[in-house]
Amino acid sequence: MNQTVLILDFGGQYKELIARRVRECKVYSVVKPGDTISVDEIKKINPIGIILTGGPNSVYLPDSPRCDKEVFNLGIPVLGICYGSQLLAWSVGGEVAPCAGGEYGKTKMIVDNSSVLFEGLTSEQVGLMSHTDQIVKLPDGFSSVAKTIDCPNAAIQNPSKRLYGVQFHPEVESTPNGTPMIRNFLYGVCGAKGDYDLKNLEKELIEKCRNQVGDAHVLLGLSGGVDSSVCAALLSKAVPGQLHCIFVDHGLMRKNEGDEVEEAFKGRDLHFIRVNAEDRFLAALSGVTDPEKKRKIIGAEFVRVFEEEARKLPNVKFLAQGTIYPDVIESGGSKAATIKSHHNVGGLPEDMKFEGIVEPLRSLFKDEVRALGKQLGLPAKFVCRQPFPGPGLAVRVIGEITKEKLDILREADAIFREELERTRVRADQYFAVLTDTRSVGVVGDFRTYDYTIALRAVKTSDFMTCEFTQIPYRVLGRVSSRIVNEVKGAGRVVYDITGKPPATIEWC
């Protein structure tokens, strides 16, 4: 049995990011709703420490989510983050009030590095702040161990009771030393031993899948991308003989990709089914220009094909998908805004004919999925592939999708990828986009009026944020010249130099 850290969620955006940081520190964690969990349940979990997440509420308002105040008397170490810190202070006798103007973004802090939280760090630190309330009176027995210009209680502690709070977010990359701070809490306060690693994660995920699926059969939507390939490897270990992998060629794949995926999976120890469904996807997408509509149509069409195929197989009750955490976050939900409905989350129809969905990777981030894939023995070729979205080139053709536009894009995209892979330039994702803009050109003595191709190449590790890749002009020049010379219908090439945020990686 691994040591466990309990993460109590109060509606913060970053709860899975906290869980991920705890995993990075080799400690197992579970996330539970903070306002409904009982003290008895907490005792049963027997955590070595509790982390309270942030959240959008004000703790002094009557309807705000709160945990039982007894949580702070259990003798279990607590680290409150943002709202969690305010909740901790308020629950044990402190005061919280609105701060003038709030405090947002990367903020300079002076920390007291004699506190265990900041051990090994210098006294000048940067923390990501995002709050409109703050602790204005410390509870008895607490002291402040970090401050910013506007926030005198940026971190608080009561070491004898092992209660700690930070107003900033140590879990995000914008707090550069956030992980060491979390590690200090886990190892210096909670007595963590670091008994959790990828092997445990694999075992845990396999066990969860087995419990969910029982002796039923599972149909996995396999695109050949990293996430669904890792999902296939995991499920083939968890429920061997009960897994069917279906690859739907929706006509929105990159050049030669359909055949490559078939080639890669055909000879493996799993039941591989390929369905050629170009006509029905293009018919369903005909005349549609709105990106969210396209995604929903594709999500629904995928499921219809899955259902049809499932009927031909014995005892298929579950649909499995390689959904990962960033897909879930961006698709929004009751509390969060929808950035785009990833086809496998927001795009699923409500009347699906499966008994349940199996998504073992749902709380993992891309780099964790790759590490898990390597451990499961997948060849580097799969694990290191750049991501390709489930809706395929549909999110890279702006405006209406037609076969003609798709063919132009496929050729241009293949040239860009080929040329970039020949250089020393390293990008985590790179592709071409067919914009809906046509422009005038001159070829020989003739006027042309062809599509503009946009090139996109980004550096990122979590795909939640990115910077554009600095590609030398001579490489861009060569790609541009090849595209306009070799691809009929492509008349101009531009390079996208926007980061995420404010843009996203894909154009749709």
CB nearer ligand XMP, residue 35 or residue 496: 496
**And the tokens for 156?**
């608080």
Exposed, middle or buried: residue 321 (CB in 10 Å: 0-12, 13-18, 19+)?
buried
Task: Identify whether the C-beta of residue 204 lies closer than 8 Å to the C-beta of residue 348.
Answer: no
Residues that bind ligand XMP (CB under 6 A): 295, 327, 330, 340, 342-344, 387, 389-391, 395, 429, 463, 500, 504-506
CB nearer ligand XMP, residue 276 or residue 338: 338
Taking the alpha carbons of 203, 244, 296, 508 in that order, is the dihedral positive or negative?
A: positive
Which residues carry out catalysis? Answer: 82, 169, 171
Smallest gap from Cβ 143 to ligand XMP, in A, equals: 42
CB nearer ligand XMP, residue 227 or residue 419: 227
CB nearer ligand XMP, residue 189 or residue 458: 458
- The alpha-helical segments, DSSP class H, found in 335-472 are 366-375, 380-383, 403-421
Smallest gap from Cβ 223 to ligand XMP, in A, equals: 7
d(CA 263, CA 266): 6
Smallest gap from Cβ 165 to ligand XMP, in A, equals: 33
Smallest gap from Cβ 36 to ligand XMP, in A, equals: 31
| H or E element at residue 330 | helix 325-330
Token look-up 């810190």 returns 85
Pairing of strands 446-459, 429-443: antiparallel
CB nearer ligand XMP, residue 12 or residue 390: 390
Q: What count of residues does the chain have?
A: 508
CB nearer ligand XMP, residue 45 or residue 264: 264
Dihedrals φ, ψ of 495, to 5°?
-115, 130
| H or E element at residue 209 | helix 198-213
Smallest gap from Cβ 361 to ligand XMP, in A, equals: 11
Task: Identify whether the C-beta of residue 54 lies closer than 8 Å to the C-beta of residue 81.
Answer: yes
Return the C-alpha torsion angle 405, 408, 410, 413, nearest 10: -120
Smallest gap from Cβ 337 to ligand XMP, in A, equals: 13
**Angle at CA of residue 53, ends 52 and 54, nearest 5°:** 130
Smallest gap from Cβ 444 to ligand XMP, in A, equals: 38
**Number of Cα atoms under 13 Å in the Cβ half of residue 338:** 15
What distances in angstroms separate CA 55 from CA 30, 66, 83, 412, one per listed residue? 18, 11, 5, 45
CB nearer ligand XMP, residue 11 or residue 299: 299
Cβ density class 112-122: b for 16+ within 10 Å, e for less? ebebbbbeebe
